Amino acid sequence: MVFVARDGKLLKSMLKIVKIGGNIVDNSVKLRAFLTDFAALEGSKILVHGGGKVATAIAAALGIETVMIEGRRVTDERMLEVVTMVYSGINKQIVSALQGLGCNAVGLSGADGKLILSRRRPAVTVKGKPIDYGFVGDPVSVNAAFLQLLISYGVVPVILPITLGESGQLLNTNADTIASTVAVAMSTAMAEEGVELVYCFEKQGVMADMDDPNSLVERIDAKRFAELKAEGTIHSGMIPKLDNAFSAINQGVSSVVICAAENIAKPGYGGTTIVA
């Protein structure tokens, strides 16, 4: 059994919660390489995936406009149908690939086993304009006992970004938010083991200059995040990613890292470490 030190205590190997997104999910070669490395990771693990770029492309082909507000997708009835279809399809492709790699995975939405219950996001005002996000959910609870049961049987949960709202309504939910919410819930349920959250995408981590591959910000705290956001260096989908990363680290998750998908098998993952 592998042990790690945290706060002066000796812990069992931490549960890994890995979120994969960006340009990896819609690139079959990169996704296969990532899944090969993920399948080889030792210990308990959960995979959360996105698929927004694929959903955007399919929606466009169907004549459905995509509206994003600070990296979050506005979801009407037609868009909800698209994302449910797309994310479910991606999920089964990932699960089947992991099975082929000897990783006993099971695909889950938030509706399965009441895994993730959400509240429909209320309308907000952004830059003086009222915004109704539509069928978008903000998670309120996670069935951690269900995940623990699956993990105890050696099963790897693979979670897609659709959650369960009131009266059985499906809700589109940001995958970064799902990863953070699940990490927080599991860190409470598995306090003795600890939980590490790893956000993987096509970049090396948080970059001070997106055009400079050598501009990696190795550690980032809330103050630095605010500065980069004010400068416009961090924008769009990186805003909810970092919001969720800080939410996780501030609620007891042992470690949060944002890194390149290709580094998932490397010690420490490289990338950007989030600090409270």
Give strand ranges (E) for 89-183. 105-108, 116-120, 124-126, 129-131, 137-142, 156-159, 162-164, 170-172
* Tens digit of each residue's pLDDT (9 = 90 or more) over 35-53: 999 999 999 999 999 998 8
Which of 162, 166, 151, 164 lies closest to 81, judged by CA? 162
Q: Quick one: pLDDT at residue 12?
A: 54
Q: Quick one: pLDDT at residue 4?
A: 42
**Residue 202: is its pLDDT beyond 60?**
yes
* Tens digit of each residue's pLDDT (9 = 90 or more) over 108-147: 999 999 999 999 999 888 778 888 999 999 999 999 999 9
Q: In one letter, which amino acid is 113?
A: G
* Tens digit of each residue's pLDDT (9 = 90 or more) over 74-107: 999 999 999 999 999 999 999 999 999 999 999 9
Average pLDDT over residues 63-83: 90
**Domain 3-274 fold:** Carbamate kinase (3.40.1160)
At 8, is the pLDDT very low, low, confident or very high (cuts 50, 70, 90)?
Answer: very low
Q: Quick one: pLDDT at residue 60?
A: 95
Q: Quick one: pLDDT at residue 125?
A: 81
* Tens digit of each residue's pLDDT (9 = 90 or more) over 153-200: 999 999 999 999 988 999 999 999 999 999 999 999 988 889 999 999
Burial 24-51 (b: 16+ CB within 10 A, else e): bbbeeebbebbbbbbbebeebbbbbbbb
Whole-model pTM?
Answer: 0.92
At 26, is the pLDDT very low, low, confident or very high (cuts 50, 70, 90)?
Answer: very high
Q: Quick one: pLDDT at residue 3?
A: 39
Q: What does residue 29 show for φ and ψ, rounded to 5 degrees?
A: -70, -50
